[in-house]
Amino acid sequence: MRIMKLLTRDERPPGEEPVSDLVPEPEVSRAKRVRVLLAAACAPLLFSYTAVATVLAAVAFAADRSRFSTTGALRAAGPGWLASWQVELELGGHPLGVLPLLPTLGVVWFTARTAARAVRRIGGRTPSDALPVVVVIAAAHALFGVLIALLAGGSPVQVNPLTAFCVPGLIAGLAAVAGTVKRCGLPATLRNRFDPVAVHGLRTGAFGLAAMVACGAAVFTAATAVSWSTVDSLVEPGLGASSGQFVLSVAYLPNAVIAAMSFTTGPGFSVGSLTVGMFGYQEGRLPGVPVLAGIPSHHAAWWPALLLLPALVGALVGWKIRAIDEDPMLRMRAVVVAGAFVAFGCVVLGTLAGGRLGDGPFDPVSVPVGVASVIVFCWIVIPGGFVAFFAGAHEPPEPPGFVEDADAAVETDEQAVETDEQAVESEEDEAELAPEAELDDEFEDEAEAELARELGEDLDETPAEIEAEAEPEQDIAVTESTEGSGDESAPGGDR
């Protein structure tokens, strides 16, 4: 780190601003801004429409016993463009709501990239700078959608103009926001305004949703690989028919992955009368499309073992959240936010993956999004909450030896406080007993003096003089007592 500081040290004098901060960025002219906005509005339209027209033309050209027409391919590309933006169509009066998600992912990615490039070219750095780009892209797609719907009037393909206006505009606007959000610093703004725990939960929820989709993709791949012989039998001979089936299967590949994800988590999916669930199975007919070849023909007892996959995803979510905070309850709140995000994402994906499929035996194709959202929420919250609660810290970490030093310091302080209290108490006791002791001394001196006066003693004599005077008196008393006893005991003496 010190070497990097030396290599990148600033040679400017103190207080001098860097040159890049002093020189303002060149202002974008109005003409350039208009050109950039027009390019951002038209580029995704041209790209998506051209891609759809090219695929349809290639399939029509390779088809057997068909006459290729450039005009027909361009006219058919209009409804195909609407289908790539998830606009429901009507083919000969029969609804077609199960639309391929792979083209939608492609056009959304290109739109987001175009919006990011446009914001960079106009020097945008704030959300207000990105607003014109988002509005222009959304408005262009909405107007183009309603234009195609009006031009399709009288043809076998019918489109609701209101749906053709709202759905492409909404999806394109969201894609533009996703492309400009990082360039304009919106993540930092959201982090500053929202709860950090909720932000961590949303970020981990995005990881959990991606992991759930990955589990669905793994199950779908394994089922298709096991049923490869069925896939081979469904492919029709001939370049045109096989290429059409291949394009159709690839376009609906994300739909099949989402259905497999719903099956892996428990609720399952249905195609017409066919219902495939983890704990239930109802037979029914299936379209002869290779992408559906992996759907089993009967229930198997080992299917519940696949529930370990969503449980593992929930545990991974909890493992990623375990270290965001020392408070277990805050970690649990982050797990709940992550579970809610994953549940909402499953609702959106399940809604886009299903829909109407004509009026025949294969209608409708659906994923039970209500039940799936609740079950997925439980798969994230229960194992994730368990791991986040018990695998994370429960008390603030302390440096080594801190506890012992702190305990010793506390004991020393307590002893010092006790010593001070004892000293204060002894001083107070001495202060209280001092007057009493003086009174006692005075009382004893007065008592001795009074006794001495009664005995007629001189108060001025010292104790030694008093003892010296007392000794002869004791000797005289002893002599007298001796003589008296001798007289009484002598034989023949006077009585």
The domain locations on the chain are 30-192, 196-391
pLDDT digits (tens, 9 = 90+) for 233-285: 888 776 666 788 888 899 999 999 999 999 999 999 999 989 999 988 998 88
The whole-angstrom separation of Cα 3 and Cα 453 is 102
Running DSSP on this structure, what letter comes out for residue 202? Answer: H
More confident residue, 450 or 2: 450
Can you state the percent helix, strand and coil of the chain, rounding each to 5?
70, 5, 25
Q: Are 40 and 113 in contact (CB under 8 A)?
A: no
In this structure, of 49-63, 236-250, 316-330, the range with the lowest mean pLDDT score is: 236-250
What pTM does this model have? 0.74
H or E element, residue 383:
helix 369-391
- Percentage of residues of the chain with pLDDT beyond 90: 47
The pLDDT, as a whole number, for residue 184 is 80
3-state secondary structure (DSSP) of residue 367: coil
The band of 44, judged by pLDDT with boundaries at 50, 70 and 90, is very high
Residue 275 neighbours by CB distance under 10 Å: 16
Neighbours of 4 (CB within 10 A): 8
* C-alpha to C-alpha distance for 295 and 227, rounded to whole angstroms: 8
pLDDT at 15 > cutoff 60: no
Q: Which one-letter DSSP state was computed for residue 283?
A: -
- 214 vs 185 pLDDT, higher one: 214
Which tokens is 90 given?
Answer: 């009507």
Report d(CA 224, CA 208) in Å as an integer: 24
Give the model's pLDDT for residue 245.
Answer: 86
Q: What's the chain's average pLDDT? A: 79
Is the separation of the CB atoms in 122 and 153 below 8 Å?
no
- What is the CA 257 to chain-centroid distance, rounded? 25
Distance from chain centroid for Cα 379 = 15
Residue 9: C-alpha distances to residues 1, 2, 5, 19, 21 (Å): 12, 10, 5, 15, 17
When pLDDT is cut at 50, 70 and 90, the band that residue 297 belongs to is confident
pLDDT, one tens digit per residue, over 138-195 is 999 999 999 999 988 778 888 999 999 999 999 999 999 999 988 787 666 666 777 8
Q: 149 or 416: which carries more pLDDT confidence?
A: 149
pLDDT of 72 higher than 70? yes
Please determine, for residue 374, whether its predicted confidence score (pLDDT) is greater than 80.
yes
Nearest to 48 by CA among 141, 158, 138: 141
15-29, 63-77, 368-382, range with the lowest pLDDT: 15-29
CA distances to 195, 205, 340, 346, 385 from 343, in Å: 20, 9, 5, 5, 15
Q: Please state, in angstroms and as integers, the Cα–Cα distance from residue 126 to each residue in 113, 182, 331, following that order.
A: 17, 10, 32
Q: What is the pLDDT of residues 329-361, one digit of tens each?
A: 999 999 999 999 999 999 999 999 999 988 888
Q: Which residues of 313-332 are buried (b: 16+ CB within 10 A; e: fewer)?
A: bbbbbbbbbbebbeebebbb
pLDDT for residue 490 is more than 90: no
63 vs 171, higher pLDDT: 171
pLDDT on residue 399: 52
pLDDT band of 489, cuts 50, 70, 90:
very low
How much is the pLDDT for 215? 96
- 308, two tokens: 């370990």
pLDDT at 313: 96
Asked if omega into 18 is within 30° of 0 (cis), the reply is no
Our CA dihedral for 330, 334, 335, 340, rounded to 10 degrees, sits at 140
Best CA proximity match to 178, nearest among 200, 206, 204, 201: 206
Q: What is the pLDDT of residue 464?
A: 53
